[in-house]
Amino acid sequence: MSTLLPFQRQIVDALLDEDALCIVARGLGLRRVVAELCRICATPQALVFLLNASDTDEQALQQQLMALRSGHADACTLRIIKNETNPAARAQLYRQGGLISVTSRILIVDLLNDIVPIELVTGLLVLDASRVTAESTEAFILRMVRGRNAQAFVKAVSESPESFTLGFAPLEKTLKALGLRHVQLWPRFHVLVQEDLACAKSPVAELRLPPTRAMIELQQAALDCVSATISELSAATKLLDPDAINVESSLFRYFDALVKRMLAPHWHRLSPRVRGMVTDLAALRRVAELITAYDCVSLLKYLDTLLLATKSPTQAPPSWLASDSANILYSVARARVFSRRTTTEDSSDEANVDSMRALGLPDSIVPALEVPPKLLLLAKLLEEVGVANCTAIRQGGASTSGPVLVMAGSARECQMIRTFLATAHESVDLGHGGKHPKMMADLLRGFFRWKAQMNSGSGGTAGNSRCNTSNANASTSSSSPALTAQSQAQAVRRGAPAAKRRRVRGASAAGAKLPRAPADALEQETATLASHIEVHAEDTQPLPHTGLDDSHSTEGINLDDIDDGWLDASDQLPEFDEFYGILPANETVVVRSYTAGDSDFLTLLQPTHIILYDPDPAFIRQVEMYQAMGHALHQVYFMVYDNSIEEQRYLSAIRRERESFETLIRQNASLVIPISTASPANALLLARRSQRTAIHSQVGTPTIVVDVREFYSPLPSLLHAAGFTVVPRTIAVGDYILHDHLCVERKSLPDLIQSLRSGRLFNQAESMIAHYSYAVLLIEFEMNTSFSLQAIGSLNPEIALNSINSQLTLLVLTFPRLRIVWSSSPYETASIFAELKRDAAEPDVDRAVAMGQDDCSVEKESIYAQHPIALLQSLPGVTLRNYQALAKKFKSVSDICAASQDDLTLVLGAEAAAKLYKFIHDSSSK
């Protein structure tokens, strides 16, 4: 376990001195600070809750606390509470004290049900504080604890300074939601941080690689498409901020959310073309990012998948596909992989044709297979490090070198690096006088097999250009795992590049030399080439598995033909240690992604050589901290493509973080302190207010029974803030019980659409009508979104099964007593509930829980076969309330048909029995 640096100790001491929101720059060891804070605060005699912790945070914190146990006997243990822990077990854990990580929904339900001893709560630690808003469940928890235990501390941390600079006064809003009044800022340029990280600098070799000519052309074409799409979107909507929405800002992940947040209030007014441009923009940014991250074959595969996904017979293709930049993008991407042989070459070299067929490749192509320059340089660096280690061993007699650590941006890049290094000394002759790395040959063969599978799976010829989106997605799912993840996410989550280059209108000069064939024609030609390999698929000799293509198998190996006699011949076995054993540290190469969990792995691995395959500011700071702790590093290699997208993304990330901290420093200097926690005098004022509130509560406060599944939404928190007493229970009918005669079923828009299509909303409406005098369907919209169910231009006067308006109309006609209430936001819903509860008696909690348990519980329905029950419920006279009585009385549907009308009357009543009996026995009614 690594020790704390002086500036980290200062962060811990500052948080111990006062309750505050601490914002730390990425890579400065925030998890280690939280672990030390937990060790000090969460003793067995205390009860401390950890909020907003992800699974990765919980695992890393558990490991760090276990490591701290060796040096501190009083170190705490993190206990995790999930949904599988029952209330009795949770109550026992709360009473035992210590550090507990629990989901916000479980904790707020336990607080409202008095399972948590609030008077024993010592404090709360809030991770990722940028996610806490006034409507979040975390703010509800803090308000509950602070209201009944003013002595409990609240300490919040975050390493996302950019989140506190977006929107209007986000820092003040977050502090108000947390109930805090102090902010602690720790940027990389802090004086204490600079002093601690300035020592023990190891030599850093910055390797600036010139990108290939094809990569430059691809970047320029992709950036032109991104810029053109942003310009077209801005001209079509006039709602985007040009200072915030530009090519440089599209580097970051927040860009998609920023665009959608600007367009959300007017989303219902936007045309389908404008909505499609938002999705196209995310996909184009992803393409620009993958130019430097993927190999040439995987990039072409992604581009073809993206093209097939846009071929819908009901929608027009994106406008960017018709541009010269898009044609250059597809032309250059394919030229990096292969080119088609000319007619004069078809009969000139039969040996090349035979070799291509033997490898399962079309015999009419010339493979190009451009290898990423970084992979070639990485192999040379590892070879140089290995030679240097061997020389040091020969000269000094002992090696002081540790393992070599290679860091990449994603798991897909790590897989590519491992495969290339494992097969770096193997090559495959693909004819035409050239040899190619084995990994690239395997990728090319997997690409054409994928194209052949798509041709056969879509049910058409290779030249068929009208392929619907569902077939494209289904075909993509049969490809390699890397491409499956890409093709399923068309709206890409990660940011793409900025324009650190000379702006060129249209196409580049280099790209103008290429044939500007439309992208559709290139894709169709590739599909035609792939269709020819299906005939020879059984005759091809498979290449060994490389880890990047899942199409390889072990067919053809007969295990019975293997001679087992060698097991008894000990003289045939070599020495065990010659081939097996623990590798020396100086011969070990570890390939790891930046997103892989624990940030303290450097101390555990103790590498002496680090190669940064992709630049990452957070990991660079981790390397600086690793050196500041006294660990030796022989060399650090920093690899980056010169004047490329990834370089601009790296520089923009550093600049944006610095500007965010500078903005927060200025805001902190003029921060408005909430009066609720400002001084002891105000604390006395709060105590008097609490007394008045207690007197008012004795008179009576409005109570609402809320289903526990509703605590995923912000409405229960807002109801509690509005002065309602929220009682969480598991109720079978409705979501909110306002009084004994009024039941409310709340539906957000996604839930409303799903419930209408599945028919579940009709069953819920029937149950509410049967048990309550007033049944209300509340359709609630999200905040800052359009208050419209459908776009005005998409309203259709005709009845359609898939239309939401038609389904809602059918619902109202089926249940005339059902009332529909529209709410623009959860805040408006709280006001509506206040009006509905005016002068009404409080609901009986036990009655609300028992309502509907007799006749519609899932447990009782589960004892019957569902198909006969579905048939039974469709018969006239049979309802949701009486079908179980029929099922208890008669063993089968045939027994019901054979029953007399008097027998049915005893079960259903006269009117319902007459309807059912007439339907069964009167042929004229059928």
What residues contact residue 322 under an 8 Å CB cut-off, 6+ apart? none
Give the pLDDT of residue 695.
41
Q: In this predicted model, what pLDDT tens digit does every residue of 619-640 receive, in sequence order?
A: 999 999 988 888 888 889 999 9
Domain 701-847 grouped into CATH 3.40.50.10130: yes
Of the two residues 827 and 490, the one the predictor is more confident about is 827
Top mean pLDDT of 566-570, 815-819, 908-912 is at 815-819
Distance separating alpha carbons of residues 217 and 211, to the nearest angstrom: 10
Band (pLDDT 50/70/90 cuts) for residue 483 is: very low
Residue 881 has pLDDT above 70, yes or no: no
Query: pLDDT, tens digit, for every residue of 645-674?
Result: 889 889 988 999 999 999 999 999 888 776
- Whole-number average pLDDT of the chain: 78
For residues 378 and 582, the answer to whether their CB atoms sit within 8 Å is: no
Are 806 and 919 in contact by the 8 Å Cβ rule? The answer is: no
Q: 518 is written with which tokens? A: 């439309």
**Cα dihedral 469→475→481→482 (10° resolution):** -50
Mapping DSSP onto H, E and C, the string for 57-118 reads HHHHHHHHHHHHHCCCCCCCCEEEECCCCCHHHHHHHHHHCEEEEECHHHHHHHHHCCCCCH
Q: What is the pLDDT of residue 580?
A: 60
Q: What is the CATH number of domain 6-198+670-682?
A: 3.40.50.300
Mean pLDDT of 546-560: 36
Residue whose token pair is 């509506």: 832
**What stretch(es) of the chain map to CATH 1.10.150.20?**
858-925
Output the pTM of the full model: 0.77
The whole-number pLDDT of residue 790 equals 62
What's the pLDDT score for residue 675? 56
Contact in structure between 622 and 602 (CB atoms under 8 Å): yes
Residues ≥6 apart with Cβ < 8 Å to 133: 139, 173, 174, 177
Q: What is the C-alpha to C-alpha distance for residues 415 and 397, in angstroms, rounded to an integer?
A: 35
Question: What pLDDT is recorded for position 336?
Answer: 92
| CATH 3.40.50.300 residue spans of the chain | 6-198+670-682
- The C-alpha atoms of residue 326 and residue 514 are separated, in whole angstroms, by 13
Dist. CA 299–CA 471, nearest whole Å:
21
Does 205 have pLDDT greater than 80? yes
Task: Return the structure tokens found at 20.
Answer: 């505050």
Which residue reads 């001084």 in tokens? 679
CB contact at 8 A, 282 and 453:
no
Q: Given this model, what pLDDT does residue 375 score? A: 93
Pairwise CA distance, residues 922 & 913, whole Å: 13
Contact between residue 528 and residue 513 where contact means Cβ atoms under 8 Å apart: no
Contact 196, 628 (CB under 8 A): yes
Strands, DSSP E only, in 687-845? 703-707, 725-729, 736-739, 742-748, 774-780, 818-823
Q: What is the DSSP letter of 546?
A: -
pLDDT band at 565 (very low <50, low <70, confident <90, very high): very low
Q: Is 399 helix (H, G, I), strand (E, B) or coil?
A: coil
* pLDDT for the residue numbered 168: 80
Tens-digit pLDDT profile for residues 18-73: 999 999 999 998 999 999 998 888 887 889 999 999 888 888 888 888 877 765 55
**Does CATH place domain 858-925 in 3.90.1150.10?**
no
Q: Please report, as a single letter, which amino acid is at residue 89.
A: A
| Beta-carbon count within 10 A of 179 CB | 18
pLDDT value, residue 798: 60
| Tokens matching residue 493 | 């989550």
368 membership: H or E segment, kind and range: none
Length reported for the chain: 926
> How many separate helices (H) and strands (E) can be counted in the chain?
39, 22
Residues of the chain above pLDDT 70, percent: 76
Domain with CATH 3.40.50.10130 in the chain: 701-847
